[in-house]
Structure 1
């Protein structure tokens, strides 16, 4: 198997993982809405979907069109970061349990989660997104995708984190595990 084919397999696997996330997210959003949850930030959500979907396609197009020479050290170090970002992402999902979804939905009366990775940093899932956004394309030296996605995602995260912080500020301050 060529490195380009292996990279394509990795990106397809990440895409399948994203589909699994969407299944979990849909189920969890329903859970939140059943408990009176309200959604904030609907305006930026379509852009987020397009950006993250385009990210997967763009790195494959770049890799297949440019066909860069890739140093094995770059591949393996970036792949390690991708795996670490996936582990962090799923730690966030498991920690939030039914409260995790890809939207900003707040259930009234539930205190913010302060356990798991949330006891260490305020938005650990976004750390995973940032790391993966830079590392995954660089597994096969798709540096243009890494750069463009990182810049576009930074703009998106400015909006997303503001919306999320405003929504979380409406919750009680008492610490909760999940």
Structure 2
């Protein structure tokens, strides 16, 4: 069975589609006067996510079959991811882009938790390798992601502080 290749292919396709959408939204927001904050660390996210998927692709046997419970959890996360993206709409990007005067989004999943997209991505980084029995990949990349997300949240919170009042 080619379960691993199908799952990995779908994840890569999803990520590429999201990068396209994020780039479109970023360009639109910048044309409206938005500014990017903390651009220097963005390539680290690209490297982290690329390395995560690449290491998983190289180490995992292509005949690996996904754990059905973890696959179901991962699929469930995709509904939350779509909810986050739909809630932010044209403001959703993979970068920290702030448009002066734009209201902060406080609906959807943002009613329940701050930074829901980071929670989703963090859970994905753990679940996808675990789904195929790759515990060490889940641990290593979860720790790297946690450090990078903690740094990014500090930058994002500072950028949004003036709009939180």
TM range (shorter): over 0.9
TM-score under structure 1 normalisation? Answer: 0.87
1:36-47 matches, cutoff 5 A: 36-47=33-44
Runs of 4 or more consecutive aligned structure 1 residues displaced over 3 Å after TM superposition = none
Please point out which of 93, 100, 105 is paired with 2:97: 105
Q: Does 1:16 align with 2:13?
A: yes
Cα separation, 2, equivalents of 1:120 and 1:98 = 21
Secondary structure of the structure 2 residue equivalent to 1:82 = helix
CA RMSD, 1 decimal:
1.6
Q: How far apart in 2 are the matches of 1:115 and 1:16?
A: 28
- State the Cα distance separating 1:171 from its structure 2 match: 1.9
Aligned equivalent of 1:160, options 131, 152, 159? 152
Among 34, 52, 56, which residue is 1:55 paired with? 52
| Whole-angstrom distance in 2 between the partners of 1:37 and 1:155 | 27
The secondary structure found in structure 1 opposite 2:36 is strand
Q: Cα deviations across residues 125-146 of structure 1 (Å, max 9, x unaligned)?
A: 0110111111111111011111
Deviations 1:81-132 (A, max 9, x none): 2112211111111100000000000000012100000011111001101111
**2:20, 2:93 → 1: CA distance?**
9
Tell me the SS of whatever aligns to 1:64: coil
1:163 Cα shift?
A: 0.9
Which runs of 5 or more structure 2 residues have no equivalent in the other structure? none
Structure 1 residue 78, shift from structure 2 partner: 1.1
Tell me, what secondary structure is at the counterpart of 2:17? Answer: helix
